[in-house]
Amino acid sequence: MMPDIYHSIYQKLEKMGILDVRQYAVIENPPHVTLCIDRLSQDVYALSQNPEVDGVMVADPDMEVKVDRLQKTAEPLTFQAGDTRRVVYTAPGKVDLKARNELSRFLDTWLSDLIQKGFIRNQ
């Protein structure tokens, strides 16, 4: 049985070593843009790549991801790139399902791309 996208995201975060980050870490993999990992709380991580554009560091992309270690699932909470910002939970009890689905697909693909490029901690 194929895992759903939330299990797939969790497995990729685990494979990359992101779930072992206690506070802050970076994965450098020249010539690619460094991946920054911030642990914002017990179950929320921020992942970002910050390329330099015209001499200015920009978050592209910058995502917050919520992890459920018991269920072994993870889902996006926010996405930011340039002037674009999207939020999955727009208010307590309110979910933007279109954003949740689109951002989940984006996150799953982004993580696959990072793994393919060799973004694994402590290799």
CA dihedral 66, 70, 73, 77 (to 10 degrees): -10
**Using CA atoms, how far apart are residues 103 and 86, in angstroms rounded to an integer?**
9
Tell me: the pLDDT tens digits for 9-40? Answer: 999 999 999 999 999 999 999 999 999 999 99
> Model pTM?
0.91
Q: Hey, how many other C-beta atoms are within 10 angstroms of the C-beta on 35?
A: 21
Tell me: the pLDDT tens digits for 93-106? Answer: 999 999 999 999 99
| 49-78: b (≥16 Cβ within 10 Å) or e | bbeeeeeeebbebbbbbbbeeeeebbbbbb
**Using CA atoms, how far apart are residues 12 and 123, in angstroms rounded to an integer?**
15
Contact 32, 16 (CB under 8 A): no
